[in-house]
Structure 1
């Protein structure tokens, strides 16, 4: 699929931008807590200039829709919407949890990934994914925000090894570790914009793009699983 996808990710402490053109990547990334609003647009300008591409030539804008930092998500979605409105570009929102799984696969080849992002107050944003033959991911445990005490219903007793990724695993290693019998800690904390761009290609093929007005964040706070 020969497309030009501009991807933004500001839902975590890492701020990143990626421009994917026919599978060639132009990227910028920086760990910059509370600086995303200042960093993101200069990063966009830099990758466009490096690729010698104008915003009007982009086929779609992909954005990290969350879950994650409320402020970070709002910044990323707002800027993505602004860019989309400016050139009437299609928009694709990508799950931060799925993008973290893709990052674990890209860097370590993990094909079964349990993702947990620290949501504070002894809660995590939770999602589990398996890698498919076409390169996309299958969600095998519904994305949610859940208390650590309620994770018993998500216990994996199979003998297969699950990779783990996300800030939840570094924040609550012992508490989360008991919920999966066999796991490999990837040490991967964040997704990156290049993972957002990669996953956006599948959504575009399925016709799941929207216009800028319909581009919205997903906080998951209204999807709380309890006992």
Structure 2
């Protein structure tokens, strides 16, 4: 199962893809310009890893806490992918996984199953 993980809650935008058991990551400056072209960044990342949106079975997006603009843009992008490509998404927070001693992006899909994170549900956590 190929998964895409999007995290734009912090000072960097992190993209992670788990493809055929391999893990690939990239990061970009968390800026207004990159928010506006988040879909372009995702497509370039997938292309660099010889993958496409058609290969992605699920998207995991960090819902916060964090930057309002980062969360809003990443959730909007993922929701658009759900509507256009029918790719299910899971909105997680690392706070959801507090019981896990260490949490890495590669662990997110299994932790969403373990902690029964509902798919296609948006519930952002913004920092004030």
- Same fold, judged at TM 0.5 (above): yes
Match of 1:68 in 2: 66
Match of 2:111 in 1: 202
User: In the aligned structure 2, how far is the partner of 1:94 from the partner of 1:196?
Assistant: 11
- Where do 1:55-94 residues align within 5 Å? 55-94=53-92
- Secondary structure at the aligned position of 2:42 is classed as helix
Is 1:217 aligned to residue 124 of structure 2?
A: yes
Aligned residue pairs, count: 128
Question: How far apart are 1:61 and its partner, in Å?
Answer: 0.4
- Secondary structure at the aligned position of 1:35 is classed as helix
- Secondary structure at the aligned position of 1:66 is classed as coil
Whether the aligned pair in 1 keeps the contact of 2:67 and 2:127 (CA below 8 Å) is: no
Per-residue CA deviation, residues 12-54 of structure 1 (Å, 9 max, x unaligned), is 2211211111331222202333333134222211222123222
- Where do 1:100-111 residues align within 5 Å? none
- Where do 1:68-217 residues align within 5 Å? 68-97=66-95, 130-131=100-101, 195-204=104-113, 208-211=117-120, 214-217=121-124
**CA RMSD between the two structures:** 2.7
User: In the aligned structure 2, how far is the partner of 1:196 from the partner of 1:64?
Assistant: 10
Match of 1:171 in 2: none
Whether the aligned pair in 2 keeps the contact of 1:4 and 1:20 (CA below 8 Å) is: yes
User: In the aligned structure 2, how far is the partner of 1:94 from the partner of 1:197?
Assistant: 13
Distance 1:206 1:57, change over 3 A: farther
TM-score, structure 1 normalization: 0.48
Q: Which residue among 18, 33, 58 is the counterpart of 2:31? A: 33
Whether the aligned pair in 2 keeps the contact of 1:63 and 1:196 (CA below 8 Å) is: no
Whether the aligned pair in 2 keeps the contact of 1:19 and 1:26 (CA below 8 Å) is: yes
User: In the aligned structure 2, how far is the partner of 1:204 from the partner of 1:50?
Assistant: 29
Distance 1:78 1:66, change over 3 A: same
Unpaired runs of at least 5, structure 1? 100-127, 138-194, 222-227
User: In the aligned structure 2, how far is the partner of 1:95 from the partner of 1:198?
Assistant: 13
Question: How far apart are 1:92 and its partner, in Å?
Answer: 1.2
Distance 1:31 1:83, change over 3 A: same
Question: How far apart are 1:74 and its partner, in Å?
Answer: 0.6
Distance 1:93 1:196, change over 3 A: farther
User: In the aligned structure 1, how far is the partner of 2:34 from the partner of 2:95?
Assistant: 19
Question: How far apart are 1:210 and its partner, in Å?
Answer: 1.4
